[in-house]
Amino acid sequence: MGEAQGAAATVGPRVRVDAWAWAVRLFPTRSAAGAACRAGHVRVNGDRAKPATPVGPGDEVRIRVAGRERLVEVRRTLVKRVGAAVAVECYVDNTPPEPPREEIALLPRRERGAGRPTKRDRREIERLRGY
């Protein structure tokens, strides 16, 4: 099994950032990784990365996924997707811990049976929620 896994985890000097991010399971699909690169959510060593930007061991990759920025350092490059246990060994996650979430402002509750909110009430509620 070691040989088969070694073949799947082909170690190369430099690979495309979209393929690497997908291979180490930072994105669920390769197309999602490419789309994130095109949208400017991926940076390699501080520079915006296109999907074909090469990465190699020692490079710092910043990825914004689901509203959170992850900072990872490339240890090994991969061409093919591998299991989670192997993928974790291919990068060092230097992401700072997420700050504690602020308490969500509790919205004032309407008395039961008070009826439908007026337009003014609705606008107030939307302003509080941040819409």
Q: How many domains does the chain have?
A: 1
pLDDT of residue 101: 61
How far apart CA 49 and CA 38 sit, in angstroms, is: 8
89-108 average pLDDT score: 75
Structural domain that includes position 78: 2-93
How far apart CA 28 and CA 69 sit, in angstroms, is: 16
Q: Tell me the pLDDT tens digit for each residue of 61-86.
A: 999 988 789 999 999 998 899 999 99
Higher-pLDDT residue of 123, 4: 123
Prediction pTM value: 0.67
Asked if the structure places residue 43 within a domain, the reply is: yes
Asked if the structure places residue 106 within a domain, the reply is: no
Q: Tell me the CATH number at 40.
A: 3.10.290.10
Q: Tell me the pLDDT tens digit for each residue of 19-61.
A: 999 999 999 999 999 999 999 999 999 999 999 999 999 999 9
Asked if the structure places residue 101 within a domain, the reply is: no
Cα 67-78-95 angle, rounded to 5 deg: 30
Asked if the structure places residue 100 within a domain, the reply is: no
Asked if the structure places residue 131 within a domain, the reply is: no
